[in-house]
Chain A
Amino acid sequence: MNQGVAITGMGLISAIGNNVADNFASLISGKTGISKVRRIKTVHEHEIMVGEVPLTNEELEKLLGLPPDSHSRTPLLGIMAANEALSQAGIHNISEYSTGLISGTTVGGMDKSEQYFYDFYESNVHWNHINSLHAGDSTQKIADAIGLSKSFVTTISTACSSAANAIMLGARMIKSGELDRVIVGGSDSLSKFTINGFKTLMILSDTYNTPFDENRKGLNLGEAAAFLVLESDAIVSKENKKVLAYVKGYGNANDAYHQTASSENGDGAVLAMEKALKVAGITPDEVDYINAHGTATPNNDLSEGRAILRVFKDKIPEFSSTKPFTGHTLAVAAGVEAVYSILSIQNNVIYPNLNFKTPMTEFNLVPETQLMNKEIKTVLSNSFGFGGNCSTLIFTKEA
């Protein structure tokens, strides 16, 4: 009962590093990836800050040995992270076991679609991107790159909780024996579409985001891709694999309150955390660290804070949001933070919630602001999105 699912590989590319090791180095040295927008031409360039992956599409294509202008940015980032995850898991023959790929994305190929929206009518030069808007195309391109055929490959889009749900589905499929091995996570690139969308919602900060701070001004958008490899216990024991950590619990609920905003008391978030604790078979006091969703919007941090208080009562574990490092990477946020949670368990470390100064007036919650060493056995990670989608994952050192 309540057996965790083994994680044997992870890969990550974000604003603070092109791989897992670089991300960890930035996290422990307090180095943010937030800057003025450089790669996307937007009239809002002076009013927003973002977490961009430093590599250009051309550089990514070169690194991956792909022809120029063949892929939108979402699959390019995704292939980078998936390759790293497979390499760490020591997987050379992907067809050896029944293997699946489950990816989360919100934009898919929107970066190219918005770029060539009218151009498609003028010339045929970029027609290769016409069919790349849909999310499934990005995932299939990742599947092609890692050589996955005749397999269960699907895509989840539940806004900013997408990757959490991909990890959850993957864990459920391993547990029920539907797959032996599954690559789970997500990929999302920055686009004018999301920059302008969040701008209209008036939740973008014009400076560095400050989660759980009284004077928080909103979020910084980011881009990233992150994947984990989950494997059955049978493979782990047969191949004597090193297990990085376990997916121990997961919970999904809907806030059913508003299409974009979270409820005042975080009902959906409470349900998601409670379900995850139940699946994990643990009590709240066994959680050593909460990697909060903490987007730094007025609404999220208040709702999430209240939800954490409702679940953990007077014994709140150390918590922080890593959004000041990476920005809010939308569909991938839970993937990025899954990797950070695993690194936290492996290295017994809690990351600082950068930029925090003033506690919120509504409650007495203060995130960790300095790097902290502590034995970490269990991490709870939250992700919430539009459409009321709330998800919680629990990662543990032991199965």
Chain B
Amino acid sequence: MKEVFVNSIGSVSVQKTFDTSGFLDDLVDYEGTSVKAVDPNYKDFIPPAAARRMAKGIKMSAVSSQNALKEAGLENVDAIIVGTGLGCLGESEKFVRDLLDNDEQYLTPTRFIQSSHNTVAGSIALDMGCKGYNFTYVHSNISFESSLWDAKLQLQNNEAENILVGAVDELVEHHVTTHQFIDHIKKEPVSMKQVLRSGTKGIVFGEGSHFFVMSNQKQASTYSKLIGMGIYNTLANSEVSHTIMAFLEKNGLCKEDLDGVILGNNGDVDYDTIYHDLETSIFKDIPQYVYKHLSGEYDTASGFGFWMANKILKTGKVPELIRWNDIKVTQPKRLLLYNQYRGKNHSLVVLEKC
């Protein structure tokens, strides 16, 4: 079986991550219950006439995917695999609103076409003229991890050499308001620095697009090696630590081998307890890092976590604001990412410096 590498990264998020040279050194603070992505200069990536009719998810992904391809030094890939919880939800929402407001009359196809979950993967393939394998995963907060899993399987078996793997979701007003009704999104505004210790129900909603070139060939730009992955649709709270330990063992590791854990804490008082239990038990002596106060929470926010893990491994730097405990390691070599949302769709990813 071949080894699997992350050869490049690209990101558009709530932080200025579209600037590929920096690493969270000029943070964007916020005070709210939802927070939008910082717009890059889209004109540098998309012809302005085309951009006007484009869903935000497509625009963000044009930037992050082009940045990833450029860094990998590629013009085309063997496969494109995208994860998205809700696709270009803004277009779906507008289409439904138009449909209801105008009694199913005067509708135009553009919004419907862009509502199709696979529109981002399709439009990237179209732009690149990529006729290879093209997949879109749409499973809540393991949409991105499903894509990673698929890429890993193909690269290990040498069915492809370079795969563009992405994660994208966009922020939409109707979604935010209705999810506030049911306490999935916070009702009271909080700031970036408060959110993870807010002690209130729900999350701060964000958006973003993250793309990576995964390959079975290591090159000068390589960030990390993907060691192992686990996906579990449900786990009882009491099963989480046992599952993580079994996962590490299956991958020939023990917790002492980890130089850090990147946790998906999102400030929801009801579900962060799952992370807190680990922080004080199996991860007690390991550096703990968090990121969702910077990215906001959304189905593919773990793409931001994956982006951050790769930045840490390549630069050897750990920005102060992502530290969740006081334990420090210089030049971390091996990181575990653990994520879940509302106690469901648990994912584990191990990355290694190389």
Contacts and interface: CB of A to CB of B under 8 A. Distances in A.
Contacts of A271: 131
Given A158-B136, A253-B133, A259-B122, A130 B181 contact: yes
Nearest to B232: A150
A156 interface: yes
B163 to A, nearest CB: 13
Contacts of B103: 43
Contact of B112 (A117, A130, A157, A196): A196
B187 interface: no
Interface in A134-166: 134-137, 139-140, 143, 148-159, 165
A66 interface: no
B128 A193 contact: no
Interface in B79-126: 80, 85-87, 92, 95-97, 99-100, 103-105, 107-109, 112-113, 115-119, 121-123, 125-126
A388 B112 contact: no
A148 B233 CA distance: 8
Interface stretch (B11-19, B140-148, B280-288): B140-148
Contacts of B153: 172-173, 176, 178
Interface residues of B, number: 65
B138 A135 contact: yes
Interface in B117-171: 117-119, 121-123, 125-126, 128-140, 142-143, 146, 150, 153, 156-157
A114 interface: yes
A113 interface: yes
A290 B232 CA distance: 37
Interface residues of A, number: 69
Contact of A389 (B104, B115, B122): B122
Contact of B86 (A134, A173, A193, A254): A134
A130 B202 CA distance: 14
A105 B86 CA distance: 12
Interface stretch (A71-79, A197-205, A212-220, A346-354): A197-205
Interface of B: 80, 85-87, 92, 95-97, 99-100, 103-105, 107-109, 112-113, 115-119, 121-123, 125-126, 128-140, 142-143, 146, 150, 153, 156-157, 174, 177-179, 181-182, 184, 231-235, 239, 243, 299, 344-345
Given A106-B117, A117-B100, 11 more contacts: A131-B182, A136-B138, A148-B233, A149-B235, A151-B232, A155-B138, A156-B136, A159-B118, A172-B153, A193-B99, A386-B122
